[in-house]
Amino acid sequence: SLYELVMKMIRKENKYFIFDREKNICLKSFCKYIYFVFLSFFFKIFLYVFRPRFIPKKYNVSVCAIFKNEAPYLREWIEFNHLIGIDHFFLYNNNSNDDFLLVLKPYIKKGLVTLVDWPFNQKQMECYIDCIQKYSDETKWLGFIDLDEFIVPKSTNSIYDFLKKFEKTRSAVKIYWRLFGTSGKLDRQSGLVVEDFIVCWDKYCDIGKCFYNTAYSFNSNSFHKNNLHHSFWACLKEIDIPPVNCFDHICIGDRNVADLCDFPIQINHYFTKSYIEYAQKKSKGDVYFLNNPHDEKYFFEHEMKCISVDYSAFKYLIKLKKLMLDKDNNNQH
């Protein structure tokens, strides 16, 4: 029936998002949603009334990332995200045994990368908390992303130009995923990730990654710390505060509100890359999951949703290629 078709759509997607998890439409979920609306109103008032103390910091925007055997991807990932305005990278090495250090040495020498050895398995959230405690005094904004995620500002050309309008009254900002598949590639020997993969979901995923405004404090004992990269709760006046999204709507529970289909900023999540790269990624272990759930079924559940194309990263492509080429030439000399 038409009713069943509509309910099916509501459970799996809406106008702006494909849901990471199918929603259960019932009286309980409706009441919870109404509760979140009122709670969001409270937090908005709180954020306008109470302000943190701001002090100058070394960097405007930095990211924290944990990696394991990502040497083939490190260089492009650093160059691209630096190009869009990331000033510094706090990189945590989780028992890599490839030639990652050879790739990172020039960036460490330049002062762009701080490398931390993190030999603890399945301790990704603890890694992020360690970075907050050690390095949040150095940067105004601290983001938490992975090596398969590329930040793409669309309404601006730099991430700080986007984030600074949130700086005085918001504790954290969530940027949503645009999920990319294989673009029909079974395997791939070389090439840039942001150029090779353009086929993606036709809507945004309703989860993403957060950038923390370090003028606010962080409660490492908070219940919310267990998922801080997807939903960062900062703290002010001993009250935990949820993030807003890129449209300045409070993100609490599974409530994600958008104003337009064309988002002002996104994170290109190259979830699979080619089919062979996806298989290799699963076999090398995971920094979060003890048993990686990303099997063949999981792959095709995501791949079959890739029915659109997105070229938004291409505005940076010539600059990226020139940077990569210049560094190749310098290394040859």
Kindly report the pTM of this predicted structure: 0.93
* pLDDT range class, residue 216, cuts 50, 70, 90: very high
* pLDDT range class, residue 286, cuts 50, 70, 90: low
State yes or no: pLDDT of 147 exceeds 60: yes
CA gap 78, 73 in Å, rounded? 9
303: phi > 0 → left, psi -120 to 50 → alpha, else beta; which? alpha
Q: Would you state the pLDDT for residue 291?
A: 60
Q: Would you state the pLDDT for residue 283?
A: 73
Q: Would you state the pLDDT for residue 329?
A: 66
State yes or no: pLDDT of 332 exceeds 60: no
Closest to 209 (Cα-Cα) out of 144, 151, 303: 144
State yes or no: pLDDT of 270 exceeds 60: yes
State yes or no: pLDDT of 6 exceeds 80: no
Over the stretch 105-143, which tens digit does the pLDDT of each residue have? 999 999 999 999 999 988 899 999 999 999 999 999 999
Q: Would you state the pLDDT for residue 301?
A: 93
CA distances from 183 to 16, 197, 205, 252 (A): 22, 5, 18, 33
Q: Would you state the pLDDT for residue 122?
A: 84
Mean pLDDT of 151-173: 97
Q: Would you state the pLDDT for residue 116?
A: 98
Angle at 315 between CA 312 and CA 320, to 5 degrees: 115
Identity (one letter) of the amino acid at 257?
V
Exposure on the CB side of residue 299, measured as CA atoms within 13 A: 17
Closest to 245 (Cα-Cα) out of 255, 83, 87: 255
Per DSSP bridges, beta strands 239-241 and 234-236 are antiparallel
Mean pLDDT of 165-178: 97
Over the stretch 227-257, which tens digit does the pLDDT of each residue have? 899 999 999 999 999 999 999 999 998 889 9
199 and 180 Cβ atoms separated by less than 8 Å: yes
142 and 235 Cβ atoms separated by less than 8 Å: no
Q: Which of 7-11, 53-57, 74-78 has the lowest mean pLDDT?
A: 7-11
More confident residue, 284 or 202: 202
